[in-house]
């Protein structure tokens, strides 16, 4: 196992999308850590093994955890496990359907209240109450998701699967020997499912570089958003639990392309809805480096100076700016 960072620092670096502006290679070199880089790109699904370009930007040090391929292999060889995971997906999908109905109604109610003018302070109270109702829907969903996840994870089928245990053991060995862990983007739902199924645990002292869906996965919760979606729920959605390496942070990959940043009312509601979190836009070229001491509570989740975030007025601001 590689030596710990000086002072047992916890280092997590969130990057903007890597398709057009590649920063991961420079960031990897800046860490000055020798040894293999564990690659997690399960969000690419069937293209997971097409990793030559990713290996290249990781200075050919990448070792692919192959989480998607391992999951497919384990499910293919264990019928009971396959049935259990199918049931998990069905329950999660059903929960999301109910959540979408409740969420959109609560979201629309907030804007209906905001559009109604009043000379009385009743209006302010109505807005606060409507926003809290929105949070209540999120809290209900988060609780139910956690319950579904826990039920599946602790089930006899998952715990006793030899095929899964073998894959988990191999993954744990690779991660334990890695100098750095790199988490790429792709389908965030598949990424979270495979991370959980293969029981991936990243040691706190191992630096993590994550971008796009990978950045979402290392935080908690995972929030989906797209203000310009042609159909379906238009409100930002809590989708799943993340790894929780960075708490109190909600990454917003492709923020300029997916969010109506000029709509201050909409963005302010987003910020107020997740008032205990910082909404962090991750656009091309963005680099946000979190670093703190192990055991320092939530010190590692404090935004570094210069990081961009959506403030309570719905404006993209700079943390620490005068």
Q: What pLDDT, on the 0 to 100 scale, is given for residue 217?
A: 97
- Token couple for 55: 């290996």
In this prediction, residue 120 carries a pLDDT of: 75
Give the pLDDT of residue 8: 55
Gap between the Cα atoms of 127 and 145, Å rounded: 27
Report the pLDDT value the prediction gives residue 297, as an integer from 0 to 100. Answer: 46
- Closest by CA position to 203, among listed 240, 158, 172, 237: 172
* Polymer length in residues for the chain: 322
The pLDDT assigned to 234 comes to 81
Helix axes 67-77, 188-197, angle to 10 degrees: 60
Below-70 pLDDT ranges, the chain: 1-9, 119, 231-233, 292-300, 322
Max CA distance (Å), the chain: 67
Q: Which of 20, 23, 51 is nearest to 38 (CA)?
A: 51
The CA-CA-CA angle for residues 243, 246, 247, to 5°, reads: 95
Tell me which DSSP letter residue 103 carries: H
Cβ–Cβ under 8 Å, residues 78 and 164: yes
Query: CA-CA distance, 206 to 24, in Å (whole number)?
Result: 16
What is the per-residue pLDDT for 299?
41
Q: CA-to-CA distance for 247 and 286, rounded, in angstroms? A: 19
What pLDDT, on a 0 to 100 scale, did the predictor assign at position 9? 67
Q: Residue 231 contacts by C-beta under 8 Å, 6 or more apart in sequence? A: none
Cα separation, 316 vs 255, in Å, equals: 10
Q: What is the pLDDT of residue 291?
A: 85
Closest residue by Cα to residue 311 from 299, 319, 301: 319
Q: Which two tokens stand for residue 232?
A: 């379906």
CA–CA separation, 44 and 13 (whole Å)? 21
SS3 content of the chain, % helix, strand, coil (to 5): 50, 15, 35
Domains of the chain: 6-318 (3.40.50)
pLDDT score for 30: 95
- Here the tokens at position 316 are 């993209």
User: For residue 262, which phi and psi values (nearest 5 degrees)?
Assistant: -80, -15
* CA–CA dist 318, 322 (Å, integer): 9
pLDDT at res. 322: 60
Q: Please say whether the beta carbons of 184 and 53 come within 8 A.
A: no
Determine contact, residues 224/28, Cβ cutoff 8 Å: no
Instruction: Identify the pLDDT of residue 3.
Output: 39
B/e letters for 237-249, b = 16+ CB within 10 Å, e = fewer, are bbbbbbbebbeeb
């Amino acid at each position: 196992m590689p030596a710990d960072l000086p002072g047992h620092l916890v280092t997590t670096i969130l990057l903007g999308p890597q398709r057009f502006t590649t920063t991961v290679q420079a960031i990897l070199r800046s860490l000055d850590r020798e040894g293999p880089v564990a690659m997690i790109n399960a969000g690419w699904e069937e293209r997971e093994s097409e990793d030559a370009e990713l290996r290249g930007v990781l200075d050919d040090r990448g070792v692919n955890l192959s989480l998607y391929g391992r999951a497919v292999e384990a499910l293919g060889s264990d019928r009971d496990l396959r049935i259990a995971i199918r049931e998990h997906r069905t329950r999660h999908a059903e929960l999301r359907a109910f959540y979408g109905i409740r969420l959109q109604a609560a979201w629309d109610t907030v804007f209906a209240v905001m559009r109604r003018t009043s000379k009385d302070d009743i209006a302010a109270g109505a807005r606060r109450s409507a926003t809290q109702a929105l949070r209540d829907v999120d809290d209900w969903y988060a609780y139910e998701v956690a319950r579904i996840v826990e039920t599946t994870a602790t089930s006899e089928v998952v715990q006793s699967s030899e095929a899964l245990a073998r894959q988990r053991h191999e993954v744990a060995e690779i991660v334990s020997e890695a100098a750095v862990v790199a988490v790429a983007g792709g389908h965030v739902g598949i990424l979270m499912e495979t991370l959980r199924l293969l029981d991936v645990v990243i040691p706190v002292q191992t630096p993590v570089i994550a971008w796009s869906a990978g950045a979402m996965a290392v935080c908690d919760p995972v929030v989906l958003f797209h203000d310009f979606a042609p159909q379906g729920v238009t409100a930002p959605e809590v989708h799943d639990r993340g790894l929780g390496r960075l708490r109190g942070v909600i990454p917003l990959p492709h923020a300029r392309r997916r969010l109506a940043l000029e709509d201050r009312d909409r963005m302010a509601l987003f910020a107020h809805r997740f008032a205990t979190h910082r909404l962090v836009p991750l656009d091309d070229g963005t680099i946000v480096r979190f670093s703190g001491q192990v055991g320092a509570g939530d010190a590692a989740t404090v935004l570094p100076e210069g990081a961009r975030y959506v403030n309570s007025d719905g404006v993209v601001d700079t943390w620490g700016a005068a």
